[in-house]
Amino acid sequence: MNIREEIQRAIKYGIYLGDLSYTEEKVFLSELFASLIAKKNFCILKDKDRTMVVSSVTEDLAEIFVHEGTLKIIPLSSEGYFKVFMDALEFIAERHKKEVESLKDLEEDESTEEEDWWL
């Protein structure tokens, strides 16, 4: 599968984030909200902080929400949407990298504890 097909699939079906609880979905969306704001996107939260709308000066660009562990980014405009999509992908990649690093640190701590136990 090429990159174009992967992007089309992600837009059509969403990006699976894992088995998230309702609270974890809200936390993820609020962290994504903060990340998009930091990248100079204009965003608002609606529907009890369950849906985010990203806008430009003139129009809405995308609607973003997480449902049953899947991140959906719905295009609302043909112009500017792709930047929002790429900013969201960058956030997901950075978050995943941090999770992997924390798991490595945890594994290292556990192996050190086991070594100390045998001494």
Domain that holds residue 62: 3-118
Please check whether residue 81 is in contact with residue 11, taking contact to mean a CB–CB distance below 8 angstroms.
no
Is residue 50 pLDDT above 70, yes or no?
yes
Dihedral over Cα of 31, 13, 51, 88: its sign: positive
> Is residue 75 packed enough to be buried (19+ CB in 10 Å), middle (13-18) or exposed (0-12)?
middle
- Domain containing residue 32: CATH number: 3.30.310
pLDDT category at 116 given cuts 50, 70, 90 is low
Other beta carbons less than 10 A from residue 8's beta carbon: 12
How many separate domains does the chain show? 1
pLDDT tens, position by position, 21-42: 999 999 999 999 999 999 888 9
pLDDT tens, position by position, 59-107: 999 999 999 999 999 999 988 899 999 999 999 999 989 888 888 877 7
Give the whole-angstrom CA distance, residue 24 versus residue 61.
Answer: 25
